[in-house]
Amino acid sequence: MLTQLLLAGADSSINALLRLDPVSQQRFGKLAGQVLAIQAREPDFALFLVLQPEGLQLARQWEAPADCTLSATTAELWQLLTSSNKAAALYQPGVTITGNNSLLVELADIVQAMEIDWEFQLQQWFGPLAAGLIGSHLRLRGRWTAANLASLHQRTEDWLAEEARLLVGNNEAESRFAELDQLKLQLDRLEARAALIRRQLEPDTE
């Protein structure tokens, strides 16, 4: 029942989000009654998306056959979820689609095209003027945060590159030590040969 509770919470949240974008919700509604099965590997788990007129229902098991089955590793599924080009991510080598793949393509397209009008939602609560002010303030803060995050990312990258040049890795150090040992042995041999030659050139003292 705990899983049911978690799934109920998850699909309520997704449906609440969908309500904020009536166009996407309408597109979802057109697919109502169809079932998408997601079979994940590493770790193994199954999840069913049952499309409803007002959104979707998530299920851990589904006795009826699914219209479309998507099989992939969990990492590939995550990549698919977060990718900005979902259609391309669907056709990676590790991803297998069986059944009606147009359902999956349509779903990916809906998720990709989702645009939630947060300002309109704020307007419902605070009125148009306040919503406009809050919206522009949040947009400004959002841009500032994005710019700072990009800058932080760039600086971290630069710093790591610098550090990488100053520090020597263990394998590289071992290789250098081996070269030095070899050099020392060669010097010892040269020294011994020079001593031998010196002895041969010296006049016989006897």
Partner 1 sequence: MNDTRQDSTTHFGYQTVDEKQKADKVAEVFHSVASRYDLMNDVLSGGMHRLWKRQTIEMSGVRRGNQVLDIAGGTGDLSRKFSTLVGPEGQVVLADINDSMLKVGRDRLLDKGVAGNVRFVQADAECLPFPDNYFDVVTIAFGLRNVTHKDRAIESMLRVLKPGGRLLILEFSKPKNPLLTKLYDTYSFNFMPLAGKLITNDADSYRYLAESIRMHPDQETLKAMMETAGFAGVSYHNMTGGIVALHRGIKP
By CB under 8 A, name the binding residues for partner 1: 1, 4-5, 7-8, 32-33, 48, 50, 52-53, 57, 59-65
Q: Which is nearer to partner 1, 4 or 175 (CB)?
A: 4
Q: Which is nearer to partner 1, 59 or 72 (CB)?
A: 59
Q: Which is nearer to partner 1, 53 or 128 (CB)?
A: 53
CB of 57 to partner 1, least distance (A): 8
Contact 117, 19 (CB under 8 A): no
| Residue 109 burial by Cβ neighbours in a 10 Å radius (0-12, 13-18, 19+) | middle
Nearest by Cα to 102 from 90, 116, 115: 90
Q: Which is nearer to partner 1, 63 or 206 (CB)?
A: 63
Q: Which is nearer to partner 1, 53 or 127 (CB)?
A: 53
Contact 83, 109 (CB under 8 A): no
CA 115, CA 23: separation in Å to the nearest integer? 9
